[in-house]
Amino acid sequence: MNRTADTENLAGLVQIALGTAVPVTGIQRLRGGSKKGVYRVHLGGPPTSVMVYSWAQEENFWPRATDAPDPGDPFAAATGLPRLLAATHELQTAGVRSPRVLWSDDSHQHYPADVAVIEDVPAGSLETLMDTDPARAETVLHDLAASLTRLHARTTDHYGPLGHLENYGTSCEQMVLQRARGDLDEGARRDERLRAAHPLILQRLHDLHDRVRPRQKYSLIHGELGPDHVLVDTAGQSVLIDIEGLMFFDIEWEHAFLELRFHDRYTALAVDALDEDRLRLYRLAMRLSLVTGPLRLLDGDFPDRTPMQHIAEHNLQMTLALIKEPMRSP
């Protein structure tokens, strides 16, 4: 299947967005996107480049669900132009930097899918900077920590994706448990090691869930914030991308992911007063998700298969290690 947009059409979109006949000198599809096409368009500028997001169905590598996704499900596929626009507005309100949306269109008059032309932040990612310039990365990490403080300070007594805040008749921890059980069942059908450990993992999930205390206050979180989802602008500011999953949820869900992705650099982002019982449940649930999700993606024709296989295998090993940890006293 052809998963690449027509470059001539993309060039036309950029010229509409910028309101000028700025020459397009090159277009490249960036690797890694699994739910939308992400293209860098090089220009005779200024600007010298912009990004184009395309939500064409053929650029979504995830297996198509048989049922329409529930827009209120915090864990449903977080993608689409409306979610990008809502998240961009919410981040601006919170004082958190993300790429500016220069132009967007859902009429399909100019292109046969929802599209957006986005500010390019070409200085690179925090992930790259952590390898190439650790001292500068440390400065960006502190800026990111300040951004997260502003983001998480926005709270509500309902949870869910932006525009769909409810109480859902259940709690965040119950929703996470239900999702983790589904991931465990699906993963066990795909890997015999997970199948053998299924009873122990299921028991650990329920034991951890039973220790979590009720809560009625939720924070605005990114949800999947790794160093690859943080760009660095020319001023050294952190810039959040892949923001469509922005939602109000338990802050521990955010920190479980930050721990997982930032490793020893997480100390710059750590905060006090997190619920350790909630964190322990969410760590295990997140590992299960990162086993089953990549395996599901590999059912299709996702091109970067080796990294996905490594993600699934690493998180399977971490899942098995987590259930060997002794339960702390209540």
For tokens 């019982």, name the residue.
Answer: 277
| Confidence tier at 2 by pLDDT (50, 70, 90) | very low
- In the chain, % of residues over pLDDT 70: 92
Please give the average per-residue pLDDT across 87-109, as a whole number: 97
Which contiguous run of DSSP H or E holds residue 247? Answer: strand 247-249
In the prediction, which pLDDT does 101 show? 98
Q: Are 305 and 266 in contact (CB under 8 A)?
A: no
Buried b (16+ CB within 10 A) or exposed e, 85-103: bbbbebbeebebbbbebbb
Buried b (16+ CB within 10 A) or exposed e, 137-162: bebbbebbeebbeebbebeeeebbbb
**Cα separation values, 207 from 122, 126, 248, Å:** 46, 37, 25
Q: Tokens standing for 213?
A: 């205390």
Q: Are 115 and 37 in contact (CB under 8 A)?
A: no
In the prediction, which pLDDT does 21 show? 77
For tokens 């699934």, name the residue.
Answer: 312
The larger pLDDT score, comparing residue 329 to residue 310, is at 310
In the prediction, which pLDDT does 43 show? 93
For residue range 21-55, what is the model confidence (pLDDT) as tens digits? 788 899 998 875 668 889 999 999 789 999 999 99
Q: Are 161 and 175 in contact (CB under 8 A)?
A: no
Which contiguous run of DSSP H or E holds residue 155? Answer: strand 155-156
Which contiguous run of DSSP H or E holds residue 43? Answer: strand 37-43
Q: 1 pLDDT exceeds 80?
A: no
For residue range 121-149, what is the model confidence (pLDDT) as tens digits? 987 899 999 999 999 999 999 999 999 99
The amino acid at 145: A
Least confident of 135-139, 178-182, 299-303: 299-303
DSSP letters along 250-301, please? -HHHHHHHHHHHHGGGGGGT--S---HHHHHHHHHHHHHHHHHHHHHHTTTT
For tokens 């892949």, name the residue.
Answer: 242
Please give the average per-residue pLDDT across 166-178, as a whole number: 87
Residues in the chain: 330
Residue 168 CA to residue 159 CA, distance in Å, equals: 8
Within 22-155, residue ranges assigned H as helices are: 81-94, 126-132, 134-152
User: What are the φ/ψ torsions at residue 227 (nearest 5 degrees)?
Assistant: -65, -20
pTM of the model: 0.91
For residue range 89-98, what is the model confidence (pLDDT) as tens digits? 999 999 999 9
What domains sit in the chain, N to C, each tagged with a CATH number? 7-119 (3.30.200), 126-322 (3.90.1200.10)
For residue range 253-262, what is the model confidence (pLDDT) as tens digits? 999 999 999 9
